[in-house]
């Protein structure tokens, strides 16, 4: 493999990994804090993309579309949490899988009714749609670099939020002992709603960023949802740090798999990776400490 192709694919893998990280971190946060397996996370990703696509048509601006759709997705996530998911935190995982599977059916059909079955395409604004030269012979789309930047920025921001703010402290405390946090006078229900909103924002953001690269269509959230699950299982459920490393690992492995392996094998590759990791370490690479 020549170095130009290698670097291009490495960047593609990193970009894909960063997208996966945005999805996976919300999932793992919700699992770690509320002990909820949320299959409907892919639906929030899809709704984010649809909000952004619609707002882009209305406002004519990609940036405004993103800025306005994030609060919309957060609001949607919080409403879903308050209406349905809140009641599932103390249920076993099977109930959660099933109820959130019901949410997937609902949202897919809702989108089909409101937006129709055809897919949407989001156009990139002028300043994001060209290529830059990284070094001689290697040009790369600016937009994909922006995605990498946004993802890394969000990762750093989350690290700061979790480890250096009061909200982050409450989130960490809620994850390790919810009764104690509640007894100390923290409104744990509200905290959960906030965490769910945060997860929704990250999923929605991933959907919006994916809009211009992939098509915005019904069911777009499911393939990436399953991959995000692979990521959090490899990384260790509940660990944001694990989600980051596993996301990049899966992104890069998947991208190189597609280049090097025959088509059928390539899609299998990351599942083989996951099975191998789980056989070696049944709790994932960075198991979250629970007390």
Partner 1 sequence: MTFRRIFCFVFIVFFATLPLWSDVFHTRLFTRILIFALLALSLDLVVGYGGMVSFGHAAFFGTGAYMTGLMSLHGITDALVVWPAAAGAAMLIALPIGALSLRTRGAYFIMITLAFAQMIYYFASGLETFGGSDGMRLLARNTLAGKEFLRHHEFFYYVAAGFLAGAFLLCRRLTGSRFGLILGGIRQNEKRMQSLGYATFPYKLTCFVISAALAGLSGALMANETLYISPSLLHWTQSGHALVMVILGGMGTLAGPVLGAIVLLLMEEILSAFTQHWMIVLGPLLILVVLYARGGLYGLWPQKKVSHVTPP
Binding region for partner 1 (CB under 8 A): 31, 37, 84, 87-88, 91-95, 97-99, 101-110, 112-113, 222, 226, 229-230, 233, 237, 262-265, 267-268, 271-272, 274-275, 278-279, 282-284
CB of 109 or CB of 163, closer to partner 1: 109
CB of 146 or CB of 226, closer to partner 1: 226
CB of 43 or CB of 241, closer to partner 1: 43
* Nearest-approach distance from CB 50 to partner 1, in angstroms: 16
* Nearest-approach distance from CB 179 to partner 1, in angstroms: 20
* Residues facing 138 on adjacent strands: 135
* Nearest-approach distance from CB 62 to partner 1, in angstroms: 30
Query: What Cα–Cα distance (Å) separates residue 156 from each residue in 11, 137, 161?
Result: 19, 31, 9
Q: How far is CA 100 from the centre of its chain?
A: 16
The answer to whether 230 touches 23, Cβ cutoff 8 Å, is: no
* Nearest-approach distance from CB 123 to partner 1, in angstroms: 29
* Nearest-approach distance from CB 250 to partner 1, in angstroms: 11
The answer to whether 225 touches 213, Cβ cutoff 8 Å, is: no
CB of 208 or CB of 274, closer to partner 1: 274
Q: Rounded distance, CA 289 to CA 206, Å?
A: 27
* Nearest-approach distance from CB 186 to partner 1, in angstroms: 25
CB of 185 or CB of 263, closer to partner 1: 263
CB of 167 or CB of 268, closer to partner 1: 268
HSE, CB side, 13 Å, CA atoms: give it for residue 224.
33
CB of 56 or CB of 96, closer to partner 1: 96
CB of 55 or CB of 103, closer to partner 1: 103
């Amino acid at each position: 493999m020549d170095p130009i192709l290698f670097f291009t694919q490495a960047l593609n893998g990193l970009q894909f990994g960063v997208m996966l990280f945005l999805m996976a971190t919300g999932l793992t946060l919700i699992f770690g804090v509320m002990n909820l397996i949320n299959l409907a996370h892919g639906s929030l990703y899809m709704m984010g993309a649809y909000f952004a696509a619609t707002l882009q048509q209305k406002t004519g601006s990609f940036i405004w579309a993103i800025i306005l759709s994030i609060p919309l997705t957060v609001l949607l996530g919080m409403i879903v949490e308050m209406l349905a998911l809140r009641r599932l935190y103390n249920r076993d995982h099977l109930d959660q899988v099933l109820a959130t599977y019901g949410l997937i059916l609902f949202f897919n059909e809702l989108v089909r009714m409101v937006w129709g079955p055809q897919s949407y395409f989001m156009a990139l604004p002028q300043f994001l749609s060209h290529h830059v030269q990284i070094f001689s012979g290697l040009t790369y789309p600016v937009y994909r670099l922006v995605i990498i930047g946004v993802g890394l920025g969000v990762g750093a921001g989350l690290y700061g939020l979790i480890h250096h703010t009061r909200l982050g402290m409450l989130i960490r405390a809620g994850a390790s002992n919810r009764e104690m946090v509640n007894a100390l006078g923290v409104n744990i229900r509200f905290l959960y709603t906030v965490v769910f909103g945060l997860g929704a924002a990250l999923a929605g953001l991933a959907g919006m960023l994916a809009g211009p690269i992939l098509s915005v269509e019904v069911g777009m959230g499911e393939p990436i949802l399953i991959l995000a699950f692979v990521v959090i299982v490899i990384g260790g459920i509940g660990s944001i740090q694990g989600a980051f490393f596993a996301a990049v690992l899966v992104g890069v492995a998947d991208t190189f798999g597609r280049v090097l392996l025959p088509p059928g094998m390539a899609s299998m590759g990351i599942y083989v990776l996951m099975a191998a990791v789980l056989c070696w370490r049944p709790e994932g690479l960075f198991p979250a400490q629970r007390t």
